[in-house]
Amino acid sequence: MTVLVVVHHPRDWPFEIAGTRVVTAREYLSDPTYSESQSARVLNLCRTDRYQGRGYYVSLLAEARGHRPLPEVKTLGDLQSSESPERLMPASFVEQMQRALALHTEPSLALDAFFGRDPRRRHDALAQQLFGTLRLPLVRAHFHRAGGTWTLRELSLLGINEVADESRTLIAEAARDYVTRSNRLRGKPPATGKASVAILYDDDEPQPPSNPEAIAKLCAAARTLGMRAEVIGRDDIDRLSRFDGLFIRDTTNVNHYTYQFARRAATDGLVVVDDPESILKCTNKVYLNELLSRHKVPVPKTLMVHRDNVEQIIPLLGLPCILKQPDSAFSLGVAKVETPEAVRAACARLFEKSDLVVAQEWLPTAFDWRVGVYDRRPLYVCKYFMAPGHWQVVKREPGRTLEGSTQALSVGEAPEIVVRTAVRAANLIGDGLYGVDLKQDGRQCYVMEVNDNPNLDAHSEDGVLKDALYREVMGVFLRRIQERRATAA
């Protein structure tokens, strides 16, 4: 298996390691050679601490391409969302930290861990456990002591260009060792007891994925199935271990408390929807486009735009076209541009938040198809009509928001190509609950987005199945909880 060592500049990695190839981040992100490669590992030695920075996208697209990146995007998301990095570590690390630093006389310590090795050779065991848990190739851990107890206060992700020259030989040696091994972490099995599901919901969320009546119907469906369901809020993360499952009914994002809940629940062995990997994958359109294109799922003509190829947008896509912030949602961060000046202005604005922008051809339609896919099967189908006088489903004006109407259909009423394409796209993400948005142009169907936490609203998505929709959702939770218990037993 080829190992790609990704750096910002070739001079950052002058080493030769059998079976590896040095690639710049720009090459990896834009050269089709790497998007078409079927099997590879990626050692991402760029700085990855900036969300949507170039190093972040290297790991993101590596996962979309099946390239097994180090570090993994979910770890980067964990570090972005966690208030304390120590919460990401197992109890064994905390115990080892106290023993390893017991004789350290200073009140603080900065420890470098390069592929699990301490360049000073003082705390190799601690550095190895950091690497074994988080899989961060180059990291600096900051420890502090208060009242005789040490805490892991901060983790700083490093790029190879930030490491002293005398340490790079050690990094190369450690990288050689890493190429031949792969460690996997597993979550704890769920506890036994009556099947219970926590439903994470925020009454103050302006556009929640479920309205209050739908939340009540989910709880009623759980009771019908002999389960216990309880609505919890953003301050209840420490209660998760009391449940067997977590159903997130709040708008998700990586830099958001919902991701912290998903990660904590997954670590504790709960059945989680939306699971953290689905959140990571669905909230970034760069990843989605790479994944769908690689598996030949039809998408609109698309260009990944960086600061050096803005002038390619109009020749490739024409005008008008659509520009998207990679983690845009609910029609926010999406612009329809109709002139060259508008293209440049919109790109400049979007580049302030991300190193990459998604540009797509404009496909005008009266409505978007939405197919709800759950447990790898179609659950419901809706037509989402455009807001009156607007090109999107949602139109925002000062002081108000307008939405187009929704028409629910049975799965059998929808065109087969729409349902088949949606299921195929969703199954590339996982087996959770997804809302696939598609546009139909004659016999061709294009996937616009795959959304985690899709809407399940009373009097909308449940227009055909009614209460059976909620029983189906909670029934999958029950089956998965029972399967986990049987496996643990």
pLDDT band with cut points at 50, 70 and 90 for residue 257: confident
What is the mean pLDDT of the segment spanning 464-489?
Answer: 94
pLDDT-derived band at 190 (thresholds 50, 70, 90) equals: very low
- Can you tell me the distance from the alpha carbon of 249 to that of 228, in angstroms, rounded to the nearest whole number? 17
What confidence score (pLDDT) does residue 45 get? 94
Model confidence over 156-170: pLDDT tens digits? Answer: 999 998 888 888 888
Name the residue with higher pLDDT: 301 or 241: 301
Q: Which pLDDT belongs to residue 235? A: 85
Mean pLDDT of 279-299: 93
In which band, very low, low, confident or very high, does the pLDDT at 331 lie, cut at 50, 70 and 90?
low
Between 353 and 191, the higher pLDDT residue: 353
User: What does the pLDDT read at residue 333?
Assistant: 81
Q: What pLDDT, on the 0 to 100 scale, is given for residue 390?
A: 92
pLDDT of residue 455 exceeding 90: yes
376-407 pLDDT, tens digit each: 999 999 999 999 999 999 888 888 888 999 99
Q: What angle do CA 319, 323, 328 make, to 5 degrees?
A: 155
Coil, strand or helix at 190: coil
Domains annotated for the chain, with CATH where assigned, are 1-185 (no CATH), 196-274+475-488 (3.40.50.2300), 301-361 (3.30.1490.20), 365-465 (3.30.470.20)
| 185 — pLDDT class (breaks 50, 70, 90) | very low
Closest CA to 45 of 6, 2, 3, 4: 6
Q: How would you label 67-101 residue by residue, b for 16+ Cβ within 10 Å and e otherwise?
A: bbbbbbbbbbbbbbbbeebbebbeeebeebbeebb
Model confidence pLDDT, tens digit, residues 300-322: 999 999 999 999 999 999 999 99
Tokens of 165: 């020259």
Q: Which of 31-35, 157-161, 246-250, 479-483 has the lowest mean pLDDT?
A: 31-35
Percent of the chain at pLDDT > 70 equals 96
Residue 98 has pLDDT above 70, yes or no: yes
Which residues in 183-205 are b (16+ Cβ under 10 Å) and which e?
eeeeeeebbeeebbbbbbbeeee
Region 116-133 average pLDDT:
87
Per-residue pLDDT for 247 more than 60?
yes
CA angle 456, 219, 81 (to 5 degrees): 65
Distances (CA, A) of 159 to 114, 117, 167, 181, 320: 11, 16, 13, 22, 39
d(CA 28, CA 34): 6
